[in-house]
Amino acid sequence: MSLWGGDQGAVPMMFGYGDEWWVLLVVPVFLWIPFGPLVMAGMGVWCALRPGRWPRLWSVLLPLLPVAVSAILVTLPADSWGRPGHTRDVVHYVLAYVGGLTVLPWLLGHGIARLTRALRARRGRTGSDRKGAPDMP
């Protein structure tokens, strides 16, 4: 019997099993639930204020791991597709996890940042008297 909870030899065990390496892939999935919307809203603001290739590329690459791993967990095993209600579960997953936690916060952050920028630019053009006359120095 070894210290790790079984007679595994040199293979350390994590949580009682020797092959728990997949936990490293599942942890970002669970961390994405509370922090993903905040991160994606920030990415939307970044894309609105700094248009270009890099903000948009990071907006796609950042959620790639948690969304791809969770999509694999929802769609596999393939024999579960014959179970009644599985298609409905996949649709709900796409709406909640992908749409609600990833896409919607990005759209809100992007839209609010663009609207704020447009309103500030309009206010700067019209002046402080609100009648359209620009400020005179």
The Cα–Cα gap between 128 and 47 comes to 29
Task: Specify whether the CB–CB gap between 89 and 74 falls below 8 A.
Answer: yes
Please list, residue by residue across 49-78, b when 16 or more beta carbons sit within 10 angstroms of its beta carbon and e when fewer do. eeeeeebeeebeebbeebbebbbeeeeeee
Res 35: pLDDT: 95
Res 1: pLDDT: 44
DSSP tally for the chain: helices H, then strands E: 5, 0
Res 86: pLDDT: 87
Res 59: pLDDT: 93
Beta-bridge partner residues of 14: 17
Reported as type and span, the H/E element at residue 134 is none
Res 27: pLDDT: 86
Task: Specify whether the CB–CB gap between 18 and 8 falls below 8 A.
Answer: yes
Of 90, 72, 71, nearest in space to 81 by CA: 90
Res 113: pLDDT: 95
- Pick left, alpha or beta for residue 85 (phi over 0 → left; psi -120 to 50 → alpha; otherwise beta): left
pLDDT digit of tens for each residue in the chain (137 aa)?
A: 444 455 555 555 555 555 677 777 888 888 999 999 999 999 999 999 998 899 999 999 999 999 999 898 888 878 888 888 888 989 999 999 999 999 999 999 999 999 999 998 888 776 656 665 565 55
Res 79: pLDDT: 81
The Cα–Cα gap between 65 and 30 comes to 11
Whether this model's pTM surpasses 0.85? no
